[in-house]
Structure 1
């Protein structure tokens, strides 16, 4: 179901634009030329775009201006693409639900391991 507003009481009618077909999780959807992936999916009521890296809880469109990274999806096999900034292209394949890597958590884990190694080395008794 398309939830777009085609007539606004103050702004008037939406100008007509060419439509594009793209795929989201294997299903075809229509978008207007110049529309972002997030806007097109939201017009169909799709709000969950991925899951949280650690907890697996649902994530979707939050800020819609590219600051929060909550809307990351996989586009044409490229992971981590922000849906709110990426314009739909004809035939584009978009996937969601993949638990993407959390680079900050990985960096924190590596730092902690390094500190533990250094701590063990400092505590070792020279022979």
Structure 2
């Protein structure tokens, strides 16, 4: 549904979403990268496990919560990607980081 309007060129980085390598542009948000994927959701709900996607893209709605580099419940819309970042979609009940 979403795609980049330009080629990231030299600023391209590789991140891993659920273990799969994905191309991204340095500095763009994790949520933006998730929205460009065939499965553009970032988490599932705790009760029905229906998929939820990033919504507000400014840190207000919390629909973009993901696990990043082992830290749970991170807002993807406020987190810029970096080379080698591991992004895991939340499935069901969230895990809180200590």
Could you tell me the TM-score, scaled by structure 1's length? 0.65
Q: How many residues align?
A: 95
Structure with greater helix percent: 1
Moved over 6 A (4+): none
| Structure number, greater radius of gyration | 1
| Stretches of structure 2 lacking an aligned partner (at least 5 in a row) | none
Could you tell me the TM-score, scaled by structure 2's length? 0.82
Stretch deviating more after TM superposition (68-77 or 93-102): 93-102
Distance in 1 separating the partners of 2:8 and 2:80? 18
Deviation of 1:45 (Å): 4.0
Deviation of 1:20 (Å): 0.8
RMSD: 2.3
SS of the equivalent of 1:67 reads coil
Q: Which has the higher contact order (CA 8 A, sep 6+)?
A: 2
Deviation of 1:79 (Å): 0.6
Alignment of 1:92-103 (within 5 A): 92-101=85-94
